[in-house]
Amino acid sequence: MVSGSEDSTAIPKELLKDLYLGLARVEEVLATLEELMDSEGLQRIRGSEEEYRRGEYETAEGSCGVKKLVE
């Protein structure tokens, strides 16, 4: 039995999904801003961009590929 003092509202699953995905995007933006505000992080980004321009990078498919590159 539901007590009369409790209020509840039905929220469509699609709306919850959209809210969750939107929150994830906001979190990514905040993490990027945090990295850009950090001078060491900004240096890492600039160094990585330069390595990319020179073609000094490797690609991996999936987590197994990343593990092989790290080893």
pTM: 0.49
Per DSSP, helices labelled H in 6-61 are: 13-37, 39-54
How many folded domains does the chain comprise? 1
Per-residue pLDDT, averaged over 43-62, amounts to 90
Question: Which residue would you say has higher pLDDT here, 19 or 68?
Answer: 19
Q: Is 50 exposed, middle or buried (0-12, 13-18, 19+ CB in 10 A)?
A: exposed
In a domain, residue 20? The reply is yes
In a domain, residue 63? The reply is no
pLDDT-based confidence at residue 35 (cuts at 50, 70, 90): confident
In the chain, the amino acid numbered 19 is L
Show the domain range for 19: 12-36
Return phi, psi of residue 58, to 5°: -125, 150
In a domain, residue 2? The reply is no
Pair 45, 34: CB distance under 8 Å: no
Question: Which residue would you say has higher pLDDT here, 17 or 35?
Answer: 17
In a domain, residue 25? The reply is yes
In a domain, residue 71? The reply is no
* pLDDT tens digits along 12-34: 999 999 999 999 999 999 998 99
In a domain, residue 29? The reply is yes
pLDDT-based confidence at residue 54 (cuts at 50, 70, 90): very high
* Reduced DSSP (H G I as helix, E B as strand, rest coil) percent helix, strand, coil of the chain, to 5: 70, 0, 30
